[in-house]
Amino acid sequence: MTVRHMLQRWLFGSEHDRSVTGVTRRTGIAKVLAAVMILMLLPGCYYALAQRSYAGTISPFDEQTHIAYAWSVSHGHLPANGDRVPEEVLKEWSCSGWRSVADNATNPQHLPPCGTTDPLQYPAGGEQYNAFHPPLYYLITGLTARVAAKVIPSVSFTQAARAMSVAWMVAGLMMLFVALRRWKISVSASLAVCALVPYIPVFLNTGTAVTNDAPALLCGAAFLWMTADWFERQRYHLLVPCVITILACMVKGTFAFPLLAVLFVMAVHAVLRLIRRNDPATAKRELAVSVITGMLALIVVFGWSSLQSHRGVPGYVAAISGVNTTPVHGLPVGEFLNTLMQGFELGGIPQDLRGTDSSAGYAAWLAIIQIVIGGSAFFLYFQRDKVESHTLLLCGTVFGMLLIPSMVQIREYLNSGSMFGSVTTRYGLPLLPYILCCWALAVQNRKARALSWGVATIGAIICWVAVLGMAPYSAA
């Protein structure tokens, strides 16, 4: 088997199933090249250009703490409560500054002169307030960045770590394509969805900054792939799902939220099958897998949290505590209901666009993508295609949209007695592959290939113009 045939089988399935893949000997190479361009080259160049537009400045959304965590772990130290940002990162922070692509938010907080190593002169006292996160992302990114910086002297640790964010996104796109194909979505629809992903606003920071949200697409796509085995193929194995669950939860604890939503729907489905005596043997396996996988996710998340909470300064309270939260007096019913539906706003305006939205046409793109993201599950529902796996998928997706902001608020309330006035969209990143799968199925059911590619093309044009600074716009 040639390399071309191997790529065709991996990307498009069996060459003999032409009714699904449309792959022929004459067009095979062209399709492989198109897939490589959509999944790797275009996203890589887009994020690289966005990083270049930021001119090496630090993202004001906690990037200094993520760089510090990756630096510390790569040098053999696991951060603990009360730690400070290392001197090397402090120097880069003060010399690079915080700046958006539009230069309209230069140093939003005061930074000391370049080269200052006293952490107390920095915002939040130069504190490492993200030490509570699991270490897997930081270990992989930090070690890779450290090696790259050693091998290529002209590349700094931070630059290499940001390049790893691009690699995480590309890996996520490849996994998403594989997961969509697992759901029997056509090659065209799968590639159209993947072509759309880099231009979803909430993914901009994940591909341009050092952040443990960078692997969110990869983890969410892996969850979607697992879900296809359960819902679409009714294969209830434990080994691979358990390994994926452990790895994802050791990247970031909140990545478990969309998986828990899907597992809950899966458990309810299994119980209903048992009540109706519809293939009870399969229903028992389904229930067992959902319960075991869910319990494993909770054990990993709470286990790490318990271990890390006992390290460092006793009774530690983060310097940023109360910045984005408000103390709750009485029952938190109003605060809870105010954010309950914010999971449906994943296509809205995130806080981390860093001025990219100051480009002509970007407001129109935000409106389009909000319709796609917010309405995908409902588009699929109202088609009523009577495919049980699709019904379970959209139930899990909608429940996930409700569960994620709820879990974030409950966790914060139990930890500090406070709640967020608004739950940031980045908590929903691992759920986006499920939403996009609903979009792909809805488009495929309607045979609306032009629509799927049209949306992706509009997003690409507007976002490339934005990062290239070709059409700056100011309401003033």
State mean pLDDT over 299-321.
Answer: 89
Q: Is-contact 200 370, C-beta < 8 A? A: no
Q: Quote the tokens at residue 192.
A: 């159209």
Strand 325-327 relative to strand 418-420, pairing: antiparallel
Q: Which pLDDT score, from 0 to 100, does residue 286 have?
A: 95
Task: Give the residue, 456 or 29, on which the prediction is more confident.
Answer: 456
Burial class (CB in 10 A: 0-12, 13-18, 19+), 468: middle
Q: Is the pLDDT of residue 103 over 50?
A: no
Q: What is the pLDDT of residues 129-161, one digit of tens each?
A: 999 999 999 999 999 999 999 999 999 999 999
Q: How far is CA 237 from CA 152, 218, 240, 282, in A?
A: 44, 21, 7, 12
Highest mean pLDDT among 29-33, 78-82, 347-351: 78-82
Q: Is the pLDDT of residue 24 over 60?
A: no
Residue 248 identity: A
Average pLDDT of every residue of the chain = 88
Percent of the chain at pLDDT > 90 equals 63
Closest by CA position to 391, among listed 378, 376, 381: 381
pLDDT on residue 27: 65
Among 407, 270, 273, 425, residue whose Cα is nearest residue 343: 425
Question: Residue 197 in contact with residue 372, Cβ under 8 Å?
Answer: no
Comparing 100 with 174, which gets the higher pLDDT? 174
CA distances from 22 to 6, 11, 14 (A): 16, 12, 10
How sure is the predictor about 108, in pLDDT bands with cuts at 50, 70 and 90?
low
**Cβ-contact 91, 27 below 8 angstroms:** no
Confidence band, pLDDT 50/70/90 cuts, at residue 363: confident
> What's the residue count for the chain?
476
- pLDDT of 423-452, one tens digit each? 888 899 999 999 999 999 999 999 999 999
Task: Tell which wins on pLDDT, 451 or 316.
Answer: 451
The residue type at 242: C
User: Which two tokens mark 436?
Assistant: 């996009």
